[in-house]
Amino acid sequence: MKIYTKTGDKGTTALFGGTRVKKYNLRIESYGTVDELNSYIGLIKDQEISQEIKDTLLQIQTELFTLGAMLATPPEKKTLKSGKERLNIPKIDKVSILFLEKGIDTMDEELPQMTHFILPGGHQAVSFCHIARCVCRRAERLSVELNDLETINNDILKYLNRLSDYLFVLARKLSKDLSVEEIKWVPEKKS
């Protein structure tokens, strides 16, 4: 199988099930942003961090690939004529969301209470977490907009919302693990 098909040379691409749409279609923007997020999570995973966190990030990457496939399947193509589901893979569900929540709670128990907003930075691994968090929020916004036009699985929206929280807490955890001082945002008064 060749990596290039030439079928997208005129600005269209195929969704799962064969429907062709413009490459700027909101569905494409949604799962394309999830793909971008997955790449940033790969950057975090490639840092000098614990194997436990790397394993968790690998699971998240796998779930994001699944989530992208769910977004790439338009509602009218979810089932075959036989009634069988077209996308025959495990889906993002409440268990996926609980996995993130458990990870957040576990990390949060080790961290000092937050009293201020925190500025991104201090270490490359921490900065990658904040970039991934921002990309995750964009993926969430696009998915919410897509959901307004054509209903998508609500667990996708919950998962993306929870994942951005997870990435924020992970940035704080990595700051602690890497002995990096968190920089609090304190608004300065103009004179």
- By DSSP bridging, strand 20-22 and strand 12-14 are antiparallel
Domain ranges of the chain: 21-75+92-109+117-181
CB 100 within 8 A of CB 166: yes
Rounded to two decimals, what is the model's pTM?
A: 0.89
| Predicted pLDDT of residue 186 | 85
CATH number of this structure's domain 21-75+92-109+117-181, picked from the four choices 1.20.1200.10, 1.25.40.10, 1.10.357.10, 3.40.50.970: 1.20.1200.10
User: Which of these, 59, 64, 44, lies nearest to 171 by C-alpha position?
Assistant: 44
| Tens digits of pLDDT across the chain (191 residues) | 777 777 677 787 777 777 777 677 899 999 999 999 999 999 999 999 999 999 999 999 999 999 999 999 877 766 666 666 767 778 999 999 999 999 999 999 999 998 889 989 999 999 999 999 999 999 999 999 999 999 899 999 999 999 999 999 999 999 999 999 998 888 888 77
Question: Can you give the pLDDT at residue 116?
Answer: 86
> d(Cα 113, Cα 12) in Å, to the nearest integer?
49
The pLDDT of residue 165 is: 98
Per-residue model confidence (pLDDT) at position 11: 81
Long-range contact set of residues 154-160: C-beta below 8 Å, sequence gap at least 24:
155/91, 155/92, 155/93, 155/94, 155/96, 155/97, 156/67, 156/70, 156/71, 156/92, 158/97, 159/63, 159/67, 159/92, 159/96, 159/97, 159/100, 160/34, 160/67, 160/136
What pLDDT is stored for residue 86 in this prediction? 65
Q: What are the Cα distances from residue 182, in Å, to 24, 55, 125, 156, 173?
A: 38, 25, 13, 31, 10
